[in-house]
Chain A
Amino acid sequence: MEIKYGIDKTNGLVRHVSNLMRDKPDLQRLYDEHAQALFAFLLNFTRDEGDTRDLLQDMFVKLSRQPGLLRGARNERSFLIRLVHNAAIDLMRRRGTRNKHQEQFQGEQIPVFAPTPDPDEAEFRDELANALAELPAEQRAVVHLKLWEELTFEQIAETLGIPPNTAASRYRYGLDKLRERLRPLYEET
């Protein structure tokens, strides 16, 4: 065992193969490869940094205690997004209706985007964050996966457990609202 961990430090591939053989997920690799995407999706979906952290941690705890969870996954990223999406929906249901949850956070400025030195771009990002917050959570999830994860509608449908046509229509509705909301800023530039 010591030898395996010694190799781990110098050769990530050996570490990955070793964990595959033991059928135990390599949490560090999973974090490095997917945590950023999961964080951005959860932050955009829940509009709450504390919830995002809890959901992310819960998912890694689940992966650690259920080693076979990723066994049948064709696409790790899609599978993990589906896990956290379902967990986020459960969290919202436990707290009450989604509308109440949205109203709670609509007035708050959630830093979904990275800071930028360009003031025009910063203003656009702030408005975009607010516009996203006004979308229903289902539309926001589809818009996020389409624009920032660059998934196809089929992949989005599989990830969120909805029909592809539903994914496409939610994207169109959401994008139209964003376009309408950001039109003044977008046409200025």
Chain B
Amino acid sequence: MDDFEKRLQRQNLRQVPAGWREEILAAAQTPDPGFKTSSEEPTVWGWLFARFPVAWGALGMLWATIIAANLLSSAPGSRTAMQPVFAAGTEPMAIWNLQRAEVSLLNGGLEDTTELRPVAPLRPRNERRRDEGHGAFLAEPPIRFFA
């Protein structure tokens, strides 16, 4: 550092105006109107709910719908309603024949006692032809419910 620099360095700079200290510190310690104290600070959930109310409402409705649908589908009667009352078989036909036989007996045997044969379940054509007597074999007699 030469003499010129030292000469410059010796020049005293101006002092801060006396009144500034109190004014600046007072301004600095004034609470920020936009600043919230810790007791007023929202929680994360509160912030989320406040920020996206429509989205949260829609999500709540969706969950309510899902839960309601789930409860309705698991009601006691709904599961058995889908099950068949009769297995594909001869029970209705047997009941019908029994009723006809009873009526015939009551009427003194005047009623036609021809028995209804149960509808054969669906089977391949060749097996059906054999059962109906069109084939070369008649190994089995027709099904009869009453002797």
**Complex: how many Å from CA A150 to CA B5?**
11
Closest B residue by C-beta to A189:
B7
> Contact at B5–A112, with CB atoms within 8 Å?
no
Minimum-distance CB pairs A-B, first 8: A60-B28, A40-B13, A114-B12, A64-B28, A39-B16, A57-B24, A61-B28, A147-B9
Main secondary structure, interface of A, reads helix
On chain A, the residues within 8 Å of B7 by CB distance are 186
Where the two chains meet, the residues of B that have a C-beta atom closer than 8 Å to any C-beta of A are 4-5, 7-9, 11-16, 20-21, 23-25, 27-29, 32, 35
In the complex, which of the residues B23, B28, B35 contacts A27, with contact meaning CB atoms closer than 8 Å? B28
A53 CB, nearest partner CB in chain B, Å: 6
User: Can you name 16 extra interface pairs (CB under 8 A) apart from A61-B27, A64-B29?
Assistant: A27-B28, A28-B25, A36-B15, A36-B16, A39-B15, A53-B20, A60-B25, A60-B28, A63-B28, A111-B14, A116-B12, A147-B5, A148-B13, A178-B8, A179-B4, A182-B4
Identify which of B8, B9, B23 gathers the most chain A CB atoms within 10 Å of its CB. Answer: B8
Instruction: Give CA–CA (A148, B27) in the complex, Å.
Output: 28
- Contact call A113/B14, Cβ cutoff below 8 A: yes
Mask, A56-100, CB within 8 Å of B = 1, is: 110011011100000000000000000000000000000000000
A125 at the interface (CB under 8 A from B): yes
A40 touches B29 (CB 8 A): no
> Is A137 located at the chain interface by the 8 A CB criterion?
no
A31 touches B24 (CB 8 A): yes
Q: What separation, in Å, do the CA atoms of A116 and B11 have in the docked complex? A: 10
Q: Which of B4, B8, B27 contacts A57 (CB 8 A)?
A: B27
Q: Which of A31, A39, A150 contacts B25 (CB 8 A)?
A: A31
28 A–B contact pairs at CB < 8 A? Answer: A27-B25, A27-B28, A27-B29, A28-B25, A35-B21, A35-B24, A36-B13, A39-B14, A40-B13, A40-B14, A56-B20, A56-B24, A57-B23, A57-B28, A60-B24, A60-B28, A61-B27, A63-B28, A112-B13, A113-B11, A113-B13, A114-B15, A128-B11, A147-B8, A148-B9, A150-B9, A179-B4, A182-B4
